Structure 1
Amino acid sequence: MNIDRIRQPFIKKFPGDFSNNPMQRNTPKVLLATTQPAGFDQPQLIAFNEKLSEEIGLGKFDEKDLDFLVGSNLPENIQTYATAYAGHQFGNWAGQLGDGRAILAGEITNDSGRKTEIQWKGAGATPYSRHADGRAVLRSSVREYLMSEAMYHLKVPTTRALSLTFSGEEVVRDMMYDGNPQLEKGAVVIRTAESFLRFGHFELMSAQREYKTLQELADFTIENYYPEITSSGIQRYKDFFGNICTRTANLMVEWFRVGFVHGVMNTDNMSILGLTIDYGPYSMMDEYDLNFTPNTTDLPGRRYAFGKQGQISQWNLWQLANALHPLIEDEKFLEDTLNHFGTYFWEAHDTMLCKKFGFDELKEEDEEFFTNWQGLMQEVQFDYTLFFNQLEKLTSETNLEEHFKNVSYLAWDEEKLRKLEDFIRKYRSRLALNSISKEDSLALMKKTNPKFILRNYLLYECIEEINSGKTEMLEKLTKALETPYEELFPEFSRKRPSDYNDTTGCSTLSCSS
C-alpha cells in the first residue's frame, strides 16, 4: 500500500497537545493530542477491502503492510493523533470526551483529488480513553467492518472499513455489564471517511468558549466538505447549519428506508457530514416495531428506538445550534431552521415510503394509508424487509395467507388474515391512482427495497465462525452485502430464526466493545 502518501493537514491547522502522552487526562482548549498506537507483535489479517484501498489511493495490499493495519512500525512521515470532542449522552451533558479507541493516521488523496481520512479503531489508549484500554474485541470489530460496508452498498451515507485484523492479544470485557468479564480476542479495524468530524467537536470548543477555534473549525469544515456554500459573513454559518440539518434529515430517512437502528445516537456519535458513524449496539430491523432498540443500555426509556430517530436527530441539532450560536447570533433563524427540520424530514420520509410501495408521488391521503400500514406491521409483527419483498411479488391470483404468513413472527390466525386482506384492498386501490405503469412501479420498489440486509443473527454466526478459525461465512456475507438489491443468497433472505430471540450478543447488545 502507498502509506507514504498519508498526510496530516488537520494537525497543522488546530491547537493540540504534542507531548505524545497517551495517559488519560483532560486536554482543555485543544482539539487533538498526538498519541502512538500500542503496537502489536503478532497481527493476523482477517479481511482486507481491496476495492476500497484502490479507490482511495492506497493501492494493493502486500504482506509487508500487515503491521500498518494494526498501527505498528509506522513510517516517520505519519504523526498519529486522537481528537477531543464533547457530547450529550442519553440526553445529559457529558463534558470532554474524545477518540478513546480511535487513532487517526491522517489523510490520503487519490489521483482524482479525492481526500479520505484513515483511522484505526482498537489500536490502543489515547488521552481520551477515560481509564479504558483503547482496545477493541473481535465481535465489535467484525460488526463494524461488515455493517459499514453493507450500508455503503445499500447507498446509505456512511464511514467505510478498509481492514479487519486480529491484534494477537486477548482483551477483558464484561459484555452485558453484569459482573461477568471474560477474555475475548482483540482486533483492530481501519475505517475511512471523508471526515470523522462530529457535532461534539463543535460542542467542545463552544463549551470552552474557544470561539476563535470554533470559527476556524467551522471555516475548515465548510472549505473542505461543503463546497456548495459560497456565502460570506454570518450567512456563511447560517448556510452551514442549514446544510447540516438537511444532510442529517436525509440520513435519518435512509435509516428508516432500510430499517437501521443506530442504538446510541449521542451527539458525539453524530457526523457533521451526515454520515452513519460509530457502529456499536446497532441492529437492522427484523419484525417491524417503532419502539425497538437493540441497546440494553437504552432500556427502559428507549430514547434511541427506531421510531424516535428523526426526533432525536432534531434534538441533537438543537445542541449543535447552541454550539454554533456564537458564530450565528440569530436565535430566530436557528429556531425557524430547527422547526422546519420536522416538516422537511416527514415529507422526505413519506416520499421515501411512497417509493417502497411503488407510488409515483406523495398524495394527501397517504398519511392515513401509512398510519394504517404501521398498525398492521406492528400488530402482525411482519418482518420489515421481507414484507416489502413479498409485496413486490403480489399478483391478482396471490393467496395472501400463504404469501405473507411466513414473514410474520406471530402465529397466523383468521383475524390477522382479515386485517391483511383489508390492507391489500386499500393498497391496490392506491396503486390504481399511479400515473406510471405497473412495470415502472415495480422497478421503483426493487430499487428502494433491499433483498439482503445484514441481520444480527447472521453477524452472530459469522463472529462465532471466525472465533473458531473459519472465514467461509465472512466471505459469503461480504459478497452478499455488495449486491443488496439482488437475491444472490436466498438462505440469507429469511426472518430471524426463533433460536436467536433471546441470544446475548445477537438480540441483546450493549455498548461494550
Structure 2
Amino acid sequence: MAPTIPFDNSYARLPEHFHARQPATPVAAPRLIRLNTALAEQLGIDPAALSVDVLAGNTVPEGAEPLAQAYAGHQFGHFTPRLGDGRAILLGEVVGRDGQRRDIQLKGSGPTPFSRRADGRAALGPVLREYIVSEAMAAFGVPTTRALAAVATGEEVFRETPLPGAVLTRVAASHIRVGTFQYFAARGDGAAVQVLLDHAIARHDPAAAQAEQPALAFFQGVVARQAALIARWLGLGFIHGVMNTDNMTISGETIDYGPCAFMEAYDPGAVFSSIDHAGRYAYANQPRIAQWNLARLAETLLPLFAADEDAQIQVAQEALSGFAPIFQAAWLGTFRAKLGLAGVEEDDATLIQGLLSRMAANQADFTLTFRALATEPASARALFADPAAFDGWAEAWHARRALGALPDAAMRAANPAFIPRNHLVEEAIAAATSRDDFGPFETLVHVLSRPFEDQPDHARHALPAQPEERVLATFCGT
C-alpha cells in the first residue's frame, strides 16, 4: 500500500495549461542521506510516511498529484518565454500544524516536458549545498524554501564529469514565481493571468481580494515582501548569484540556491557565481535587481491595474516606487539591530555606511566583525588591516549607543556566529562525493541549526577560509 500524506492540491486544480502531469522517474538504488524529521512534523506528516522510495520518486504517495509547473523568465536580462520545471516535480500541497499551506517538491526527479533536452537530474553536490544553505537561512529567520530530505539515487549524472546523483525534497510556501506570471502574459493569455492572480491572492494575500484594486494590492504586497527579504540578505552578507525572474517568488521566500555564497571579507562588488561574468547579481546590486524583476511582474499585471494604458503605467510606476523606501527602512532596521542601536537617529545611515566603508577598505570579515561588536567590541579592531581605521568609527558608535542601545542578547541574536562559509560547504560536498563521507555535511547542518549560539567545540566553523581554502567561484546545479 502506498504511504499516505495529507495532500490538498490547489495548484493541480488550476487549468491544465498551467502545468504538465508528470510522475518522477524512478532511480536505481535510492539511499536516504538525511530526513528533516522536525520539519516533517511541522508539516503534519508522519515521518514514517516519508520512505526513501517516496523521497526518491520511486513511489507515489496516496493523494499526490505529480506535476511540473510552467513558467518563463528573464535570465541575466534576456527573456525566455518557456522554462518551467525541467528537473522538479511538485508532489502536492499540505496544510501544516500552523495552518499554512506548503508545496512539497522533488528536485532532481527526472525529465519533464520543460527539460529542453536536459536529463532532469541533480548531482549530489548541489543537493547538499541547497540543504545546508536553505536550512541555515531558516535558522537565521530569513524567509526561505526548506529542505525536507536528501536522497542519493545510486546513479551517476553527467556534467563535465560523472557525478553521483541525488534528489532534494523541497518545501515552499509556493513555487509561484515572477516568471509564472510572465509565462501567460507573454502568450497574451489575460484570462490565465487573472486565474493565476486569483490563486496567488487566495494563497498568499487573502486581504487583497477585498481591496478596491486587488491586483494592485497583491503587487504592493510582493514589493514589500521582496524589499524586506533583500535587506535581510544584505544583513548576512548573502549573495544569491542568479536573481533571474524565474528565481523570484511572489511569496517573498528565498528560492533556488544555485551559485549562492556568503561573503567573508566585506566587498560590495563581491560576485561568486561562475556564470555572472558582468557582476549583474553582485552583493550591492541585489536591491536594484529585485526592483527590476518587480517591474517585470508589474508589466504582466498592467491590464488589471486600470482600463486606460496611461493610467496602467502610472499605477505601476507609483507602486514600484514604493520599493525604495520600504527597502531602505528594512535595511536600516537590519543594521540598527546588528549594531545594537535602539530608536532612530538622523545620522544612523551615515554611521552604518561608515563602518561598511572601513570594512571594505580593510578587508574585514563581515560576519566576524559584527559578531565581535555584539560580544567583545574591542576585539573587532584586530579584524581590520589598519586597526586605527576602526577606532575613529568606534568612538562615534559608542556615542550613538549612549542615546539608545539594545540589550546585549538582542544584538547577539542579530549577528550569527556561524554562516555557511563557502569553503566549509565545499568541504562537506567533497567528502560526500569523493569518499561517501557525510560526516562533514552532518556536522555543518548541526552547527548551522544554532547559528547565534557560541559553540566552542566547533570554533573552526566560525573562522574564515585560509588563503589555500578560499572558494572564488560557485556553480549552478543544472
So what's the TM-score if we normalise by structure 1? Answer: 0.88
Separation in 1, partners of 2:242, 2:270: 13
The 5 Å alignment of 1:27-46 reads 30-46=17-33
Q: Does 1:425 align with 2:395?
A: yes
The 5 Å alignment of 1:477-492 reads 477-488=444-455, 489-492=458-461
Of 349, 352, 370 in structure 2, the residue corresponding to residue 367 of structure 1 is 349
Structure 1 residues 143-184: Cα deviation after superposition (integer angstroms, max 9, x where no partner): 0111111100100000001110111111111xxxxxxx1111
Any stretches of 5+ residues in structure 1 without a counterpart?
Answer: 17-29, 174-180
Q: Does 1:511 align with 2:476?
A: yes
Separation in 2, partners of 1:139, 1:242: 37
- 1:344 counterpart residue number: 326
- 2:168 counterpart residue number: 189
Of 272, 280, 285 in structure 1, the residue corresponding to residue 258 of structure 2 is 280
Q: CA deviation at 1:230?
A: 4.4
Separation in 2, partners of 1:484, 1:431: 25
- 2:340 counterpart residue number: 358
Letter of the 1:147 counterpart: V
Q: CA deviation at 1:112?
A: 5.4
- 1:21 counterpart residue number: none
The 3-state SS of whatever aligns with 2:465 is coil
- Identify if the C-alpha distance between structure 1 residues 115 and 444 changes in structure 2 by more than 3 Å, giving closer, same or farther: same
Letter of the 2:34 counterpart: A
Structure 1 residues 173-204: Cα deviation after superposition (integer angstroms, max 9, x where no partner): 1xxxxxxx111100000001121110111111
Does the 8 Å contact 2:76/2:244 carry over to 1?
yes
Separation in 2, partners of 1:227, 1:315: 25
Separation in 1, partners of 2:331, 2:61: 47
Q: Does 1:103 align with 2:96?
A: no
Q: Does 1:263 align with 2:241?
A: yes
The 5 Å alignment of 1:346-425 reads 346-394=328-376, 398=378, 404-405=381-382, 407=383, 412=385, 416-425=386-395
Q: CA deviation at 1:100?
A: 0.9
- 1:177 counterpart residue number: none
The 5 Å alignment of 1:463-478 reads 463-467=429-433, 468-478=435-445
- 1:160 counterpart residue number: 146
The 3-state SS of whatever aligns with 1:61 is helix
- Identify if the C-alpha distance between structure 1 residues 54 and 302 changes in structure 2 by more than 3 Å, giving closer, same or farther: same
Q: CA deviation at 1:216?
A: 1.0
Q: CA deviation at 1:339?
A: 1.4
Q: CA deviation at 1:429?
A: 2.0
Separation in 2, partners of 1:148, 1:112: 20
Structure 1 residues 17-71: Cα deviation after superposition (integer angstroms, max 9, x where no partner): xxxxxxxxxxxxx221111211012011111100011110221236x81111110
- 2:75 counterpart residue number: 89
Does the 8 Å contact 1:351/1:362 carry over to 2?
no
Q: Does 1:295 align with 2:273?
A: yes
Letter of the 1:222 counterpart: I
Letter of the 1:205 counterpart: F
The 5 Å alignment of 1:21-100 reads 30-61=17-48, 65-75=51-61, 77-100=63-86
- Identify if the C-alpha distance between structure 1 residues 251 and 2 changes in structure 2 by more than 3 Å, giving closer, same or farther: farther
Q: Among all aligned residue pairs of Structure 1 and Structure 2, give the percentage whose two residues are the same amino acid.
A: 34
- 1:324 counterpart residue number: 301
- 1:5 counterpart residue number: 6
The 3-state SS of whatever aligns with 2:321 is helix
Letter of the 1:465 counterpart: A
Does the 8 Å contact 2:231/2:334 carry over to 1?
yes
Structure 1 residues 420-468: Cα deviation after superposition (integer angstroms, max 9, x where no partner): 222222222222222x4xxx44233112111111111111111122221
Of 446, 453, 474 in structure 1, the residue corresponding to residue 419 of structure 2 is 453
Q: CA deviation at 1:244?
A: 0.5
Q: CA deviation at 1:232?
A: 4.5
Structure 1 residues 359-390: Cα deviation after superposition (integer angstroms, max 9, x where no partner): 11232112222222121011101110100111
- 1:122 counterpart residue number: 108
Q: CA deviation at 1:96?
A: 1.1
- 1:314 counterpart residue number: 291
Structure 1 residues 91-122: Cα deviation after superposition (integer angstroms, max 9, x where no partner): 11122111111111011234554322110000
Does the 8 Å contact 2:3/2:62 carry over to 1?
no
Of 145, 158, 174 in structure 2, the residue corresponding to residue 172 of structure 1 is 158
The 3-state SS of whatever aligns with 1:188 is strand
Letter of the 1:498 counterpart: P
So what's the TM-score if we normalise by structure 2? Answer: 0.94
Q: CA deviation at 1:294?
A: 1.2
Of 232, 248, 251 in structure 2, the residue corresponding to residue 254 of structure 1 is 232
Separation in 1, partners of 2:411, 2:96: 35
Letter of the 1:355 counterpart: A
Separation in 2, partners of 1:82, 1:189: 15
The 3-state SS of whatever aligns with 1:296 is coil
Q: CA deviation at 1:511?
A: 2.2
Q: Does 1:305 align with 2:305?
A: no
Does the 8 Å contact 1:84/1:96 carry over to 2?
yes
The 3-state SS of whatever aligns with 1:6 is coil
Separation in 1, partners of 2:315, 2:143: 27
Separation in 2, partners of 1:205, 1:102: 20
Does the 8 Å contact 1:2/1:57 carry over to 2?
no
Letter of the 1:274 counterpart: G
Q: CA deviation at 1:134?
A: 0.5
Any stretches of 5+ residues in structure 2 without a counterpart?
Answer: 307-311
Separation in 2, partners of 1:111, 1:185: 35
Q: Does 1:151 align with 2:137?
A: yes
Does the 8 Å contact 2:3/2:61 carry over to 1?
no
The 3-state SS of whatever aligns with 2:226 is helix
The 3-state SS of whatever aligns with 1:165 is strand
The 3-state SS of whatever aligns with 1:107 is strand
- Identify if the C-alpha distance between structure 1 residues 119 and 512 changes in structure 2 by more than 3 Å, giving closer, same or farther: closer
Q: CA deviation at 1:417?
A: 2.2
Deviates more, 1:248-257 or 1:354-363: 354-363
